[in-house]
Structure 1
Amino acid sequence: MKRKLGAEDLFKINSVSNPQISPNGEEAVFIRTEIDEKDNKYYAHLFHIQLATGTISQWTYGKERISSPNWSPDGQSVAFLSNRDEKNQLYIINKNGGEAKKVTTLDSGVNSFLWDPSNGKIWISSKIKSGKTFTDKVEKEDKPLPKAYVVDGMKYKMDGIDGAGLVPQDSYSQIAVLNLNDESIDQFTTGEYQHSLQAISPDGKKLVVGVNRADNLDYVFKSPLLLIDVETKEETTIVDQNGYYGGAAFSFDGKYIAYAGSDHSYKNATHGNIYIYDVEGKTTVSLTDGIDSPVGDYAVADTQQGISSPAVVWTAANELYFQLSTMGDVRLYYATLDGAIYPASPEGEHIYDYAVTKDGKFALIAVSNPTFPGELFNYEIAAGERKQLTHFNEEFLKEVELVQPSDISYEVSDGNTVYGWLMKPAGFEEGKKYPLIVEIHGGPHTMYANSFFHELQLLAAKGYGVLYVNPRGSHGYSQAFVDAVRGDYGGGDYTDIMAGLDYAISQNDWIDTERLGVTGGSYGGFMTNWIVGHTNRFKAAVTQRSISNWISFFGVSDIGYYFTDWQIGADMQDPEKLWNHSPLKYAKNIETPLLILHSEKDFRCPIEQAEQLYITLKSMNKQVEFVRFPDNNHNLSRTGTPNLRIERLNQIVQWFEKYI
């Protein structure tokens, strides 16, 4: 008999990602990430697999995180990044065995790299100080004194950066070429700009580089892509318009460059597309304009680690593959240059990483679904047949009872249909009544998906039903649907969620309407705050990394000064509108016992948002508690310090057990 899932089972779940197929199409490498409970750290190791036999061998074993594996053009070795010496440096390992060789010792480490087709060079990007070169050494101070940080721009901090979240000053990402014969480095880009290394042509003569050379980036929201001649450094602009573009890849014949991106029509709610640039004709077409769903993976989950799936993959026949988020799935899609587009994988799952053979016959896909954390499969695309290659989560699946959610859909007041899922409690018995928790995702422009979610399974294991839906603002549906939340936070999105609750209750007599809970993080935390300020239907609530006050959020969040305008439709020239959309305004109405969870180093939704809400409610003698998590950022629930992720889950469960 299987046991119920626990919070600590997070330590038993492995993440399988980064499949990379060798040039001969007969073997591949991938990464397995695990959480070491004793060391309280994430470790990621490189594995090799023979595709014909399925034989798997582990190539790295250290206490490190491997990332970005990439085969050499001759297929004899694999380069990868490793933090085994603190900073990410570049290593190369021969496929026939032996230790990996460290080939860079850069002060800031290596951000990214690309093999040159010649096989004897690797293009790298790294941060270097203004006025310095790749070969200059930074002198270490024995006892460095604290230094003032002079702020003269608005994009000066960022969530996820160590310390105070301040963006390093006078440091720029530059591109260079590493010569493997003598390990010398020749710098390629210059200037005080951030360069991203995108793609290299099959003949090695042209690079695609991302760089924005605007003098003031405060209100610049674009990522231009340039095609640069390696020898002459002559530049040709591929795209230079408002929006975000990247993930460039050359076709095998070098005639085309595919890339992903979205314009700024709906700000950060704009659907992503695949674009094709004709190198000779210097023209661009949007390949996916006819699809009213976004290109890319917008699913939220909490067990997949280190994912870096390609934006688009070419075959030798100039066919393309890419991910599409659609109707609660993330599927692999196929396209041709003449506009034929159709799904290449089934419904009901989340393909969170992938690689495709040069001939387009097979793909390696990393697949998850609500009761399957994820493994690697060899997928024969035309036949639709797949073979599971890895079994790292097999013991976990044999041991633990998991709940299969049921799809639900319901019509809301404006005629739209909202989709979601309902999980019964583990060990469900007919005739019994059970409490229900409503979970709300962040973003808001992300989506719940047919993917494994440990937190949701944990609540079900603790005896709760779980309702999670994709209200307006969620990705995976139409452009109009994802845009509908902008300027209307707390309006139609609120009614969508409450209508979902009403629908679930009407269809399931096991739901105890006197024992309801609600929780969510980021935008889901905002919505939790909003809900308890507008209804007393819930017996308990847990708000996580939330927004409570749009007025202060405008100035303290790393994205506040523009995100507020994009989402609420107002800035500090209209504080009344910001206040009307702020849950803090409605604090006096809150009667639901509220637990506030927040990370100390969250610079996306800074902890002062939680502090304001807590002190306000406490001053009103409301039932409220506040838990602060040290040394963690906005991503605590997904990539945070392992023991604190467990503590967070336990806090949520204990609060609901206490009040529901």
Structure 2
Amino acid sequence: MTKGYLKAEDLYKLKSVADPRLSSNGKDLVYVETKISEEKDEYVSNLYYIDVEQKTTPVQWTYGEHRNHSPRWSPAQQEVAFVSNRSGKNQIYVLKATGGEARQVTECTNGASNPVWSPDGKKIAFNVSLGEEEQLVEKDKKEEKKLVPLEVDKMKYKSDAAGFWNGKYSQIAVVDLETGDTELVTKGKNDYHLQGWSPDGKHLAVSTDLNEDLDFSFVSDVYLLDIQTKELEKITNSNGYFGGVTWSPNGRYIGLLGHEREYDNATLSKIWVYDTEQKELSCLTAETDLLIGDYAIGDFQQGAVSPGLLWTENNESFYFLASDHGNTVVYYGSLQGELYPALLENQHVYGLTTGGTLNRAVVAISKPTLHGELFLLDVPTGNLEQLTEVNKEYTDEVKLAEVEEIEFKSKDDWDLHGWIMKPANFEEGKKYPLILEIHGGPHAMYANSYFHEFQMLAAEGYAVLYINPRGSHGYGQKFVDAVRGDYGGRDYADLMEAVDYALEQYDFIDETKLGVTGGSYGGFMTNWIVGHTNRFKAAVTQRSISNWISFYGVSDIGYYFNAWQIKSELEDAETLWKHSPLAYVKNVETPLLILHSEKDFRCPIEQAEQLFIALKHRKKETKFVRFPESNHELSRSGKPSLRIARLNYILNWFHEYIK
């Protein structure tokens, strides 16, 4: 059978599997499958079950056109708690493993999230959002729809994820499953994030910042909250970001992920362990250059969850994810300092669960031609058995483009790494246009993972080049820190040298038909490129930065991001302007499409507005597309129809000016 080629609209046909949860018996697996309802233009998520010992066919556990997610096994493995919006708001439900209807266990005023079971299985702790005068449970509350002024007296009054601050704080509550009684265990003008419940049932681990001036505080401390007295015991040192808390089975050790901000937001995340008997916090990976966690970037998976440290039954060893050289891999570690990969392949592991077992894990894996599936990992042998095939029907009918890894030396002798994707309909002897893709962050990592945008371009006859320039994660602390204070410097050179390398090594690339695109930092770099070279025939800038001076005051992170990344304050406007693409707009000769979301608070739309007007005022070839009701995450989790519209805008611009 002749296979067809991918279209942007194929997002409607594809499913994402994520957040696998293996019970402590090592046998029962529950996970989340997400698809898109084309009719409703919304995401639909449901829970599925697999017996991993019998390799049974997946069984659907929840139904309906809702978002059912965050499944968590009860300690006795007889029930699963999960979050659902079936009532109109996110609330917590409990479903028996033997079947039947799910039981709603919270009726919180503003919804509930992040369920965590008590060790005895009688209670569930969770997060809620509450204003100072709001009640935890207010069944008859009517939604206020009238317009009211927004009073602002702090700098952190908006965020790209949550929008404008609404006067509510994240608090922690506990519901008794037998009586239905719900108790608020934190309060005040701070956000508390639930991390876990101690094995002896006496403490909750929570993360928060209790400094008085939060506008100038950039830490996340971990505390132990005494369930009875509500007293807090701090176990970190108010000098960095810490979270991902997990307890060893015997309760003596607490695993944490985090760092002490030695390089601000470019600092590698490390593994820390707190000894509850000795009252000591120590870093287990201080002497390594390994980045702990999944920092791969993509545009497909929905609901991926970071697992933190997954302790085994011996109380001294654990598994975790690490980002390394364009892959995310499963590592084994121990309190004795052991550290080695348990699954090291060209892959993106975006989910990991062990149920506390030593020799078995379930991993969610994506590759450039694998959207994402669940696999059973036998740790001693490294053997993988595939458990799901949610997109098999699609991949049987559609030809995906293969990728080839590239490695080369920069002119200043740094090792650089990336990929080139040939057109899906590649034929020897033919010439093809090339699109350079640039990731955001800049502290992120392209990986051996599925990318719908790249596959769409390849299906339309484009080769796609993408690399991890300096500033990217996955290549050590020196590499990720190198971009700070040098935006538009060696990072720009890395990308141009990657294009040079591709043209030298691959004779199928037509050097007269080059395009470039990227989002966020990648949008900044696209703007920078077209202001500094005319080698590209067309460019698409997405959710970009054009002016660091105005970015300082309009972005939700601007007033500190400039200092951390450009290494300049507002008083040094000359340096901020020197690094601003807007300063070089007179040099732009490349047709530039500007894509931006109306409610992007990370890189606000005024950045695009300035760029568009400056280009049009100088009679440059440009077009500006504004996406309604969308934020910085449009390309990954935005309204499905708008995600597809965005992809087609990119494709049509390149078709018009390159092909």
Under TM normalisation by the shorter chain, which class is it?
over 0.9
Name the CA distance, whole Å, in 1 between partners of 2:640 and 2:569: 37
1:232, distance to aligned residue in structure 2 (A): 3.1
Equivalent in the alignment of 2:643: 645
Name the CA distance, whole Å, in 1 between partners of 2:88 and 2:487: 42
Per-residue displacement from partner, 1:388-423 (whole Å, max 9, x unpaired)?
111101111111111111110111122111100011
Equivalent in the alignment of 1:597: 595
- Unaligned runs of 5+ residues in structure 2 are none
Equivalent in the alignment of 1:96: 98
Name the CA distance, whole Å, in 1 between partners of 2:237 and 2:90: 31
Per-residue displacement from partner, 1:336-389 (whole Å, max 9, x unpaired)?
110000011022001000101323110000001111001011110111111111
Name the CA distance, whole Å, in 1 between partners of 2:140 and 2:150: 19
Select the residue among 391, 405, 415 that pairs with 1:393. 391
**Is 1:44 aligned with 2:63?**
no
Name the CA distance, whole Å, in 2 between partners of 1:309 and 1:228: 23
- Residues 534 and 361 of structure 1: CA distance in aligned 2, closer, same or farther (over 3 Å): same
Q: Which residues of 2 match residues 520-599 of structure 1 at below 5 A?
A: 520-599=518-597
Name the CA distance, whole Å, in 2 between partners of 1:583 and 1:378: 48
Equivalent in the alignment of 1:2: 3
Q: Which residues of 2 match residues 192-591 of structure 1 at below 5 A?
A: 192-317=189-314, 318-591=316-589
Q: Percent identity?
A: 52
Q: Does the 8 A contact of 1:223 with 1:240 survive in 2?
A: no
Name the CA distance, whole Å, in 2 between partners of 1:69 and 1:659: 47
Q: Does the 8 A contact of 1:525 with 1:546 survive in 2?
A: yes
Name the CA distance, whole Å, in 2 between partners of 1:418 and 1:237: 41
Q: Which residues of 2 match residues 116-195 of structure 1 at below 5 A?
A: 116-136=118-138, 139-140=141-142, 144-161=145-162, 165-169=163-167, 171-195=168-192
Q: Does the 8 A contact of 2:327 with 2:448 survive in 1?
A: yes
Per-residue displacement from partner, 1:295-337 (whole Å, max 9, x unpaired)?
1111111110011131111011121111100000000110011
Q: Secondary structure at the match of 2:90?
A: strand
Q: Does the 8 A contact of 1:88 with 1:111 survive in 2?
A: yes
Name the CA distance, whole Å, in 2 between partners of 1:612 and 1:359: 55
1:291, distance to aligned residue in structure 2 (A): 2.2
Equivalent position amino acid for 1:542 in 2: V
Name the CA distance, whole Å, in 2 between partners of 1:539 and 1:359: 54
Name the CA distance, whole Å, in 1 between partners of 2:647 and 2:16: 19
Equivalent position amino acid for 1:126 in 2: V
Name the CA distance, whole Å, in 2 between partners of 1:174 and 1:647: 38
Q: What's the TM-score, normalizing by structure 2?
A: 0.98
Equivalent in the alignment of 1:61: 63
Which piece of structure 1 moves more, 463-472 or 206-215?
206-215
Select the residue among 66, 69, 72 that pairs with 1:70. 72
Equivalent position amino acid for 1:276 in 2: V
1:489, distance to aligned residue in structure 2 (A): 0.3
CA RMSD, aligned part only? 1.2
Per-residue displacement from partner, 1:113-160 (whole Å, max 9, x unpaired)?
21001111111221122144424567426x743211111110000113
Equivalent position amino acid for 1:16 in 2: V
Q: Does the 8 A contact of 2:47 with 2:60 survive in 1?
A: yes
Name the CA distance, whole Å, in 2 between partners of 1:367 and 1:315: 22
Q: Secondary structure at the match of 2:164?
A: coil
Equivalent position amino acid for 2:109 in 1: D
Per-residue displacement from partner, 1:411-468 (whole Å, max 9, x unpaired)?
1122111100011111211111111000000000001000011110111111011100
Name the CA distance, whole Å, in 2 between partners of 1:303 and 1:260: 25
Equivalent position amino acid for 1:13 in 2: L
1:229, distance to aligned residue in structure 2 (A): 2.4
Equivalent position amino acid for 2:37 in 1: D
Which piece of structure 1 moves more, 512-521 or 404-413?
404-413
Which piece of structure 1 moves more, 144-153 or 295-304?
144-153
Moved over 6 A (4+): none
Name the CA distance, whole Å, in 2 between partners of 1:558 and 1:7: 31
Which piece of structure 1 moves more, 515-524 or 411-420?
411-420
Name the CA distance, whole Å, in 2 between partners of 1:136 and 1:4: 52
Name the CA distance, whole Å, in 2 between partners of 1:449 and 1:435: 23
Q: Does the 8 A contact of 1:222 with 1:240 survive in 2?
A: no
Name the CA distance, whole Å, in 2 between partners of 1:138 and 1:532: 56
Q: Secondary structure at the match of 1:84?
A: coil
Name the CA distance, whole Å, in 1 between partners of 2:60 and 2:40: 21
Q: Does the 8 A contact of 1:133 with 1:187 survive in 2?
A: no
Equivalent position amino acid for 1:75 in 2: Q
Name the CA distance, whole Å, in 2 between partners of 1:493 and 1:314: 39
